[in-house]
Chains A and B, each alone.
Chain A
Amino acid sequence: MKTRFVPLGDPYTALFAACNAESQPDWLAARRKGAVERLRRDGLPTRLVEAWKYTDISPLAERALVLPAGTSVRSAMPPNVPFWHEDDLNVVFVDGQFAPEWSNAVQSSEIQVVRLNNLATNPETAPSDMLASALLNAAFRRDGVLVRIPAHRQLERRIHFFLLHASETADAVLAPWLAVAAEDAAEARIAVTALSISKASCLHVPRVFVSAAAGAQLVVSQSQLMNDRSWQLGTTRIEQHRDSRVTHLEAAVGAALARHDLAAVLLESGAEVELNGLYVQREHRHVDFHTWIEHRQMNCRSHQVYKGIVDDHAAAVFNGVVRVHPGASGTDGYQLNRTLLMSREAQVFSKPELLIDNDDVKCSHGATIGQISAQELFYLQSRGIPEAQARHMLSRAFVEDVLFRQKDIRQRADLDALLDRCFPVGHD
């Protein structure tokens, strides 16, 4: 008999206790207690749960996870770490623990960096997220950082959260928490990079919380470059107030299994959000994007474009929801998911959803799944470009137009370099 949930294995009990034993503020203890109780009661979802229909995380229940041991990275940052820029306002986590020695942001007078243990209250005021990924973060969370951007501050330098996986221990569980609070009319660029420099497997369950107060303008990008043995189950919640604007771009090229649940909640009127995604999935990777955009008030706008390429034995899932509440008149919502399916063994699942409870709306979505146009390929070949190269050009161009929407020039350059690696010229 198939079940909707599988119970957690015994090793989890000791792990939960170990995380709980560390010093923590009261609110986190309460949140952790709730999450642990829920996980103990329900266990992990199987594919019979609608939200996990295409991604099976139930094997995690039997995995013997461990807490990461200390690593050498703390004393020396390895050279040539992609996306690393000395002149960013860096906030570095190593194996889920904040590393102040690498985080030049703590010295900045422009922003305020507060460590989790020094926060008297939970900046996430919304009702607790009950998704398994969010529960795992709350249960295993040992460290975190809140960055506050003061009102009317226009940040020149970019804030870069670096989530490094360095532990050589297999099956380490890393659960960093990071929050950004942009106060009224603040403007900033924020990047979050999850990156393995270790070859060992890990379970990475980061939690990101972004709040944009009235008139704030944020450009946020998240990149996932985990190694091919690791799993990442990330959750992000963006809350937007009156007339705020958030442009979000996520890119995913790594991890054996990666799932990201991204929620953007437009709490007050006039808020605008743009979510873009690009993914290049090869080998046996599995990637799952769940987006949830909630229009709570009048005259908000949301725009969403996710484009990806799926090759070899990889699988990609897109499940985007636009939810319009009864009071949200004048809503403008758009959602597009396009995927190129390049191989016989690859799989694509697309599920764009509209949930609309108001008649004064303009909402639409589209989804296509197909392959490189034979005509375009023929044209390039007729101009003397070998087929393999023409394929690379066309597939790169397919995802690249998402990059053109990115206003963070540095992030765009980094992703451009990453795409160069994904589509090497002359590769066959």
Chain B
Amino acid sequence: MMQIEQLQRRGREYKFGFETKIEQDTFPKGLNEDVVRAISKRKGEPDFLLDFRLKAYAWWKEQSAPTWAAVEFPPIDFQDIRYFSAPKSMAGAPRSLDEIDPKLLSTFNRLGIPLQEHERLGGVAVDAVFDSVSVGTTHQKMLAEHGIIFCSFSEAARLHPELVQKYLGCVVPPTDNFYAALNSAVFSDGSFVYIPKGVKCPVDLSTYFRINAEGTGQFERTLIIAEAGAEVSYVEGCTAPSRSKNQLHAAIVELIAFDDARIKYATVQNWYGGDEQGRGGIYNFVIKRGRCEGARSKISWTQVEAGATITWKYPSVILKGDDSVGEFYSVALTNNHMQADTGTKMIHIGKNTRSTIVAKGIACDQSKNSYRGLVRMTPGAENARNYSQCDSMLVGDACSANTFPYLEVRNPTAIVEHEATTSRLSADQLFYLQSRGLDTEGAVSLLVNGFCKDVFKMLPLEFLVEAVNMLEMKLEHSVG
């Protein structure tokens, strides 16, 4: 309770805006082949990874940044970004949690991710990523007993190169698009998860991303492989210091599910979203894509997007295996001058594939919130089904809400249904709740919670509490 009261007192202030003063080892600004080589060398990567990076970089050089999204920002100077930054104390070999710089541990404690406690208490296994490196992963030993690999990407590249080589880039190829190539060339760290055949991961796995250094970009890479019959639930959270200069975050998340495997991926994204005048904040350009490779596999994306100046991402599922299932549940809240162009892609290839899309957008203040989603039924998608529901809520008269669904059907047995509504917070409902004694904020929060319920119920419990608090904080003073 104390914590909630504290949160409330802080109001809409971004409580994760602090900066950790720690000695950083940072590359100079700019991107060229040498920087790519240096990153690879620094991480002691096998040759195939360096090749992978160089090829991606060569392709990226020839491309220009895409501009089609319904978001506005000045062109990014990719030579004005530092592509690698790590706490000095992390140099050298990986260590156990006990040896982690206490300053780093206390940073994660302030963020509500007490790594040491997690190690002892169980419940969730955490991989904490600080700028370009992973600073610690909990529960590794217990997970290893089940044959589960959960470690930082760099560690995976060293210890399990065969798995990395086999699966890296097989869902999001380096030449997929501009930002995919950029990430493939300079990706720093991220999490690697491998769940062997028939294993149900006993705890939720989690990654926490923290951007700390100024002028750096964060380019993490996450790869989750669920072998036949495996199951895993994965959650990720993100924060960054409040700075007046924009920072780029261009990550890639790849999921592969084989026969009967299930992957549940939840994100609570709370990057710094800029101040009330729209200064500063993170550009969150992330590629998330899952591939239901095997029959009866299932990939489920749940996201609560409440931060970042600009959010531009479409967690997608390629439904290749017969009878596979894809799900996308999303709440995107924008306030101040934030802009979001987010949604999903469901590509149906296999027979009897099913997908569900539930997207809720809330736009406040002067923000801009767009849903963009593709549902594609390829000729082989016999009896495939999709249902999409996109609702937008407008809070305040200066915000905008856009809906751009793309439905493409090339199979006569497929059924696609799409529904969308846009309206404001109902004055009747507000009045009713107030007449029953709720104050305005309480009434708004109740209505917004109800509006987002379909998505919230898909979140793991710990994250549900965090998500609800986060939305309430952001909504305060928006209405009234």
A and B: interacting chains: yes
Which residues of A does B touch, CB under 8 Å? 50, 326, 339, 341-344, 346-371
Q: Is the CB of B416 within 8 A of A351?
A: no
How far, in angstroms, from A358 to B400 measured CA to CA in the complex? 7
Q: Is the CB of A356 within 8 A of B422?
A: yes
Q: How far is the CB of A84 from chain B (nearest CB, A)?
A: 36
Q: How far is the CB of B274 from chain A (nearest CB, A)?
A: 20
How far, in angstroms, from A341 to B424 measured CA to CA in the complex? 35
How far, in angstroms, from A346 to B412 measured CA to CA in the complex? 8
Q: Note all chain B residues with C-beta closer than 8 A to A361.
A: 394, 422-424
Known: A344-B411, A362-B423. A352 touches B418 (CB 8 A): yes
Q: Note all chain A residues with C-beta closer than 8 A to B404.
A: 351, 353
How far, in angstroms, from A350 to B376 measured CA to CA in the complex? 11
How far, in angstroms, from A221 to B290 measured CA to CA in the complex? 47
Q: Is the CB of B415 within 8 A of A50?
A: no
Q: Is the CB of A359 within 8 A of B392?
A: no
Q: Note all chain A residues with C-beta closer than 8 A to B415.
A: 368-371
1/0 contact string of B419-461 vs chain A (CB within 8 Å): 1111110000000000000000000000000000000000000
Q: Note all chain B residues with C-beta closer than 8 A to A354.
A: 392, 401-403, 420, 422
List 13 additional contacts besides A344-B412, A347-B408, A367-B417; criterion CB under 8 Å: A341-B409, A342-B412, A347-B409, A348-B409, A349-B409, A350-B416, A354-B401, A359-B394, A361-B394, A361-B422, A363-B423, A367-B418, A371-B412
Q: How far is the CB of B169 from chain A (nearest CB, A)?
A: 23
Cβ of B250 within 8 Å of any chain A Cβ, yes or no, is: no
Q: Is the CB of B395 within 8 A of A359?
A: yes
Q: Note all chain A residues with C-beta closer than 8 A to B424.
A: 359-361
Known: A349-B407, A359-B396. A369 touches B402 (CB 8 A): no
Main secondary structure of the interface of A (DSSP, over half): strand
How far, in angstroms, from A88 to B447 measured CA to CA in the complex? 56
Cβ of B410 within 8 Å of any chain A Cβ, yes or no, is: yes
Q: Is the CB of B405 within 8 A of A367?
A: yes
Q: Is the CB of A353 within 8 A of B419?
A: no
Cβ of B78 within 8 Å of any chain A Cβ, yes or no, is: no
Identity of the chain B residue whose Cβ is nearest the Cβ of A343 in the assembled complex: B412
Q: Is the CB of A347 within 8 A of B410?
A: yes
Q: How far is the CB of A386 from chain B (nearest CB, A)?
A: 20
How far, in angstroms, from A32 to B411 measured CA to CA in the complex? 43
Identity of the chain A residue whose Cβ is nearest the Cβ of B423 in the assembled complex: A362
How far, in angstroms, from A359 to B398 measured CA to CA in the complex? 8
Q: Note all chain A residues with C-beta closer than 8 A to B402.
A: 353-356
29 residue pairs from A and B, CB less than 8 Å apart: A326-B397, A341-B414, A342-B412, A343-B412, A344-B379, A344-B411, A349-B406, A349-B408, A350-B407, A350-B416, A350-B418, A352-B405, A353-B403, A354-B402, A354-B420, A356-B394, A359-B397, A359-B399, A360-B397, A361-B422, A362-B422, A363-B421, A364-B420, A364-B421, A365-B403, A365-B419, A367-B405, A369-B407, A371-B413
Identity of the chain A residue whose Cβ is nearest the Cβ of B410 in the assembled complex: A347
Q: Note all chain B residues with C-beta closer than 8 A to A357.
A: 399-400
Identity of the chain A residue whose Cβ is nearest the Cβ of B421 in the assembled complex: A364
Q: When the two chains form the complex, which single residue of B395, B403, B407 contacts A348, counting CB atoms closer than 8 Å?
A: B407
How far, in angstroms, from A353 to B404 measured CA to CA in the complex? 5
Q: Note all chain A residues with C-beta closer than 8 A to B397.
A: 326, 358-360
Q: Is the CB of A367 within 8 A of B407?
A: yes
Known: A343-B412, A364-B419. A356 touches B405 (CB 8 A): no
How far, in angstroms, from A4 to B102 measured CA to CA in the complex? 54
Cβ of B68 within 8 Å of any chain A Cβ, yes or no, is: yes
Q: Note all chain B residues with C-beta closer than 8 A to A344.
A: 379, 411-412
How far, in angstroms, from A349 to B410 measured CA to CA in the complex? 9
Identity of the chain A residue whose Cβ is nearest the Cβ of B413 in the assembled complex: A371
How far, in angstroms, from A367 to B414 measured CA to CA in the complex? 14
Most chain A CB within a 10 A radius of its CB, from B392, B398, B419: B419
Q: When the two chains form the complex, which single residue of B399, B416, B420, B423 contacts A365, counting CB atoms closer than 8 Å?
A: B420
How far, in angstroms, from A356 to B403 measured CA to CA in the complex? 9
Q: Note all chain B residues with C-beta closer than 8 A to A360.
A: 397, 424
Q: How far is the CB of A228 from chain B (nearest CB, A)?
A: 22
Q: Is the CB of B416 within 8 A of A368?
A: yes
Q: How far is the CB of A331 from chain B (nearest CB, A)?
A: 10
